[in-house]
Chain A
Amino acid sequence: MDLSSIGIEYGSYLLVGAIFLLLLTGQPLAWVTGCVALVFTFGWFGPMALPLVTSRIFGFITEYSLVAIPMFILMAALLDRSGIAKSLFNGMRILAGRLPGGVAVQTLIVAILMAAMSGVIGGEIVLLGILALPQMLRLGYDRSLSIGVVCAGGSLGTMMPPSIVLIIYGLVANTSIADLFIAAITPALLLLGFYVAYVLFLCWRNPQLGPPMSREEMAQESVASALRALAAPLFIVFVVLGSIYGGIASITEAAAMGVSAVLIISLLRRELTLKMVQDSLVHTLETCGMIIWIGIAAAVLVGVYNLMGGNRFVAQAILGIDAAPVFIIMVMMLILLVLGMFLDWIGIALLTLPIFVPIVVQLGYDPIWFGILFAVNMQVSYLTPPFGPAAFYLKSVAPKEITLKHIYVALLPFIALQLVVLATILFFPPIATWLI
C-alpha cells in the first residue's frame, strides 16, 4: 500500500494520531516516535528510503554541541555524590532565613547563572534536577513547586546568552547574533522575574509550600557558616563562567572545566573516591541513553516529515490567511506551540524557520524581535506535554515516585507564566529590542 496517496494533510493528522495512540500503550516514547517515523518512511517512499532513518541517527549523535550534555550530567552526579550539593543548599537555606520560598528563589538564581554558562538545555535541567530537587524536597518544599522551579529555571538557557537556539536562529534568518543575544536578556530576566514573583506569592499565601527556618534554627546558624558552605559551589560557578567569559574555553568545553573544578573541590574535601567517580559515570551513561534516543527519534521524524512535504503544508496554511499582520504572527505562534508539543526545538527550527522568517520580514517586522518570540516559544515547548524535554530530563533523575504526570501537572502554572511573557513581547516589542 502506498501511504503517500492520502496526501500531506491527512498524512499529518495520521502521523500525530499514531503517536498519541502508541504513547498510551506505555511503549517508550523514543520507540513510539521512531517507529512512526520509520513506518511513514517505508509507507510513503518505499524500502529504498529507509537509510534516511539511520542517516539521521548518525547525524544527531555526532552533533558536537551535545557533548556538553554528558559533561553537565557528570558534573551534577559528582556534585551530588560528593555532598557539595548538600552544603550548597544548606547555605542557601541559611541565607533565605525566614523568607518563605527563599530557597526556591535562590534556585532560580542558580538557574539563571547556569543559563549563562551553557547554550544547550538538557544539561542544565539534569544538573538542577539532581542538585536542587532532592534538596528542596529534603527542606520540606512542595513537590510541585520544586519540580516547576527546576524545569522552568533549567529551560532559561535557551534565552540567556550564550544560547544555541538564538545562534541557530541567527544563522537561519541571516541576522545579527550579537543583537539577538542583547535582545534576549530583558525577556529572560522578565521570565525569571515572573517565576520569582509566582514562587513568593504562593509561599506568602501558604508558607508550608516553602517552609522557612524556625527562629530556633536561625539562632544556631550564622551568615559566616552559610558563606563557608557556599564557597565550594561558588568556586565551581566561577571556573565555568570564568572560562567562558575569559575566553579560555568554548561553551561546550566549559562544561568539562566545571567537571574538573568539582573533582578538585571534592579531592580537597577528601570526598573523592574511585567508586564515586565510577558511579557518576555509569549514571551519566544511562541518563544520556534515555535522553538522546528521544532526540534521535524526533530528528528522524522531522527528516521524513520534511521529505513528505510537511514544510510546504505549513507554509500554505500560513499563506492562506487573509488577515492583519499581527494575526499572522499569532497564528505562527500557535503553530510553534502545537509543534512544540511533539518535536524538539531543533526539529521545529528546521521545519518552520525557513518558512516563517521570510514572511515576517515581508510583513515589515523586525526579525530580531521574532527571534526572541521564537526562543520564548521554544521554552514553552520544553515544558508542554506530551513531548516535553524538560519533563523527560527531570524524570531521568527524579526520585522514582515522581511520575511524568506529576511533573506535567506541576509545570502547568509555569507554562501559563511563559505564555504571559510571550504575549507581552508580542504586543510590546521594545521589551526585546530596546537595548539594540
Chain B
Amino acid sequence: MHPFKILTAVAAPLPMMNVDTDMIIPKQFLRTIKRTGLGKYLFSEMRYEASGAEKPDFVLNKPAYRRAEILIADENFGCGSSREHAPWALNDFGIRCVIAPSFADIFHGNSFKNGMCPVKLPREQVLQLMARATDYPDQPITVDLEAQEVRAGNLVFPFTIDPFRRHCLLNGLDDIGLTLQHEGDITAFETKRKNERPWL
C-alpha cells in the first residue's frame, strides 16, 4: 500500500449531507471482480446523463476540479452499504482524502484499508474550506497527516486520527501482515475457546 503523508492538491466541494455509497458507486458497477477501474463510474448517476454524456454542472466535470485529489462534503459521508467499491472508486478517480464533519463507520474504516485519509473537522471549518474550494479552485489545499492539520491559505485546522491508523497510513502498512505477527495468540485463543465453548 502507498503511504499517505502530505497531500497538496485541488479540492472539490460537494455540499451534500448523507452522501451514501449507492451514490458514490451505484450497484450496477459492483459486478466487477477487481479493485481497479471504478474511477470512471464514480458518482455515476450525478456525473452522467442516461445517454452517458457528462452533466456539466457536476463538480468533478468542471475543468477546475477534474484533477481533484481531495473531496469536501457535508455530514455523514459514506453512509449505507459496506461496499468497499466506494473507496476503490474514489481512489481510482484520484481522490485520496475526503474532508467532512462526520463519516459513516464502515466507509471510514474502509478508507484506511486503501491508503486513504478521511479527515473529520468541525462542520463550521468544513464549510469554510468548502467556500474556499468553491471560490479559489486553483489554490490547492494541503492535508498534512504528519502534522495532523489541514492548510488552505491562511486557514489552518488541526485534526486528529486514531494513532494506529495514522501509523499504518504514514508507513503504508497492511493489516493482515501485522495481525499475523500474533498468530501464536490466535492459536492459543482458539484452544481456550474450544474448551470454554465446545459447541462452537
- Are A and B subunits of one complex? no
